[in-house]
Amino acid sequence: MAEESVNIEIQQQEEDIARKKLLDLIVECPRLHKDEESVQMIRRAFELANDAHRGMRRKSGELYIFHPIAVSRIVAVEEGLGATSVAAALLHDVVEDTDINLTDLESLFGPKVASIVDGLTKLEGVFDQTASLQAENFRKLLVSMIEDVRVILIKLADRLHNMRTLDSMPEHKRYRIAAETLYIYAPIAHRLGLYAIKTELEDLSLKYEHPQVYKMLSDKLKFNQGNYKTIIDNVANPIIERLDAIGLKYTISSRPKSIYSIWRKMQNKNVPFEEIYDILAMRIVFEPQDRLSEKTQCWGIYSIITDLYRTNPDRLRDWVSSPKANGYEALHTTIMSPSGRWVEVQIRSKRMDEVAERGLAAHWKYKEEGKEEGEEEQKESEVDKWISSVRTMLESVDSNSLEFLDAFKLNLFASEIMIFTPKGEMKVMPVGSTALDFAFEIHSKLGYHCIGAKVNYKLEPLSHELKSGDQVEIITSDKQQPKYEWLDFVTTAKAKTCIRERFREERRMYEEKGEQMVNDELQPRMLTLNARILRKMLHSYHVSTKEELMYQIGKGQISLDNFDKVLTQKSTNKWIKIWKLSLGKVQQKNQYDFEDYDEDDVMPTPVRVTPMPESKNVVLSDEETPNYTIAPCCTPIPGDDVVAFVEDNGTMMLHARQCPQAVKLMASKGNRIISAQWESHKVLSYLVVIEITGIDRQGIVSEITKIVSFEQNVKMRSVHFEGHDGVFSGSIYVYVYNTDDLKALVGKISKVKGVHTVKRKEKSTNDV
């Protein structure tokens, strides 16, 4: 009795703290207490949420009500939204986790708050055996976003707080939530112009997916912090003198490139941290003067900077004249500092800066505040265009949730180009867009009948890749009909969706025909199609998915004449003795029925499950049939960071954690992911490719092969080198036991005189 009394007292103290947090939030944001009605609505929303969640605690141990308050704070302070959004944020989990229903919310807070909460409430149940509850919930979220953009803004705030408190979640959930965040939510934040939230989501995802990498880069940035400040001060002081002289009101701030951005650049360019030369960035935010346009003043500041420093002409970015599709406006240039380091300088007006940091949230704020009608329409034009494209995808007939997720991901392009029609109208397209993509962007009928294009008055094929600034005239013919092969080179979601819609029924027919043809071949051999046979077929015919394989067989593009050879082929991997793999814990309802996914850091209601052991050793030998396989898209080797994906038939596919396909699976079918670690691996020989470049000289190839064969005692399968104009490039196919052996070999080769780069070739993957 005494213990229960103490617990009640502790909970009461925590609820008092929660009320104080809410009061501090209202006081801190003038927009929340602009009228008494707004304040009362927020207070009522808090009391209802507090009563509904009473007794619930997060896995961190704190009262659950602290989570809605934290989300509300992000919504109000970091996104700048108003009282309606804050009330909805406070209530965003009550329908999903408590006995409160939408009818209750509508009667207490009106239809708008109820509608937003409905959009944020996850679906219940699984629709079929292949459905992804994550993808279905995401689709529902976007349907609600079309009706009210605040749904996605609150969802991003919810995800950001979950990422900030992810430490309390078990490891396997951290991986899948981080992967989903990086795959979907960070790109959404970028597309909506929420730069600060996008950057933090990316950094936190890296922190939990690759903690050692994150710590290493974070430590290096902290170690160099003093040096960075000195460099920025030396660059800024002369600029400050010039800007003060013309009487401009401004602020100058600086920051290093985000940890995730640094890591991505290291990966893309295959260079160490020390060779990333554009880590530093300086931002000038000015208050515009009435007599000049913001654009003119941006270029005036740019002129002052170019008088003082040498600029990199390839790094000039004019998003003042042509803003990004997400509304971002700024002028970027990169200058050489007196110390010899490149420094990026961003020039923005105060308005540009608010839109840059808060993006769509800043636009929505203007609407909530009731700006003039003309200004509101201007602010929403780009947003409406993007939402319209999402609506088109959602209305796609008979498209499943995973297919929609793929299409939506394509629509979240990060890099953009500007393409012009013959009449000078500008269209914003993703980098890599083709002439056919442009035709579909204008109108689907134009795309269906497109036979070519004039790009800058020169005739080009449908597959011609466009460049920023191109003027494109689409050429059509009534006799032209869409071809399924167009999917091989179009890149935009709109084009892919339109083409697939035309061929959906035909494709399904060919897939069924192909599967029947395979079964007809297997039946006389007393076999049935299983995961092992399917893997052999995918590998032999160089196809990535079962659906594509069956389609090509059904259409006659793949012949089954050599079927016996396919069935008897052996793996290219050399299994020598045994090795072990440690698998993390995963819950299951029935056999691999993993749709109990819950992204929130909340103590779940107990359910009857049959858990796998916390650690399970799987011992394989060349005499046994393994119950897991190595993913062909990334071919991880022992020592690589890996995760296991449980397929429908119960077998496990091992992916490298950085594999784009693995990230996609964690984002769409997260509860089929199991964390995995190599325990012993000195007994496995695996084929990898090492790529080498350098300065050509006599005998260098002999030196390299001698190191491989004799010093490192590594078996080679093949060697290929080419020399041209004093430089060489080559590749060596070698069998290694693990990543330690590979690193030792790479280290030895890199010390050879004349060798410039040595790296493991990553196997190419399909776009995901």
Residues with a catalytic annotation lie at: 96-97
Distances (CA, A) of 673 to 230, 581, 586, 638, 665: 46, 15, 8, 18, 8
Strands (E), 534-621: 574-575, 579-583, 616-620
The percent of the chain in helix, strand and coil, each rounded to the nearest 5, is 50, 20, 30
Residues forming a β-bridge with 693:
729, 757
Give CA separation, 9 vs 4, 51, 60, in Å.
9, 16, 19
Strand order, beta sheet including 342-349: 250-256, 280-286, 342-349, 331-336, 317-318
Other C-beta atoms within 10 Å of 29: how many?
Answer: 20
β partners of residue 453? 460, 474
Q: Taken in order 139, 141, 145, 146, is the CA torsion positive or negative? A: positive
Residues 6+ apart with CB under 8 A from 672: 592, 594, 645, 646, 647, 665
Host H or E run for residue 317: strand 317-318
Which own/partner contact pairs does 183-188 have at CB distance under 8 Å and 24+ positions apart? 183/409, 183/663, 183/664, 183/666, 183/667, 184/138, 184/405, 184/408, 184/409, 184/412, 184/667, 185/155, 185/156, 185/159, 187/409, 187/412, 187/414, 188/152, 188/156, 188/412
Question: Strands, DSSP E only, in 621-672?
Answer: 628-630, 642-646, 652-656
Ranges of beta strands (E only) in 37-119 are none
The CA–CA distances, whole Å, from 605 to 598, 670, 682, 684 equal: 11, 19, 43, 43
**Kind of pairing, strands 616-620 and 579-583?**
antiparallel
What is the Cα–Cα distance from 610 to 458, expressed in whole angstroms? 65
